Amino acid sequence: MVGQTVLIVDDSTDILEVLRGYLEDEGFAVLSTADPFEAIRLAAAHHIDMVLTDVVMPALSGPAMADLIRVKRPQLAVLLMSGYHDEISVSYPIIGKPFRLIELCQMIRDLLDYEPSQPRE
């Protein structure tokens, strides 16, 4: 898992900075953006192993953005973040805000250790 690339998408630059620094300290390569359309361009231009995205963003939701990225990369791991996780229904794993960084890192590692023969939740 060390060296794998995570694309973080959140409209809060403070959250982007904190998550980027933490995941880089944990050995991940990180790309980040506050713009979901820029995230789609980054995913097309770079090898990424996972998208970590907020659910609610202006212009395009995190799940809709992930769906667009996964059209060309169906096996791409996706993890959603939301402060409203109890109130939404999505087809991707989700971590509720606020969360502890160590819990987030464990979820990322679990998803990236996913075996292709097993169905993804």
Residue 119 is assigned to a structural domain of this protein: no
Domain span at 21: 5-112
- Taking only the tens place, the pLDDT of each residue in 76-107 is 999 999 886 555 666 899 999 899 999 999 99
Domain count along the chain: 1
Residue 118 is assigned to a structural domain of this protein: no
- Tokens 């075996």 appear where? 115
- Rounded Cα distance, 24 and 36, in Å: 21
pLDDT on residue 3? 78
- Taking only the tens place, the pLDDT of each residue in 48-79 is 999 999 999 988 999 999 999 999 999 899 99
pLDDT on residue 83? 80
What's the predicted TM-score (pTM) here? Answer: 0.88
Residue 48 is assigned to a structural domain of this protein: yes
CATH code, domain with 67: 3.40.50.2300
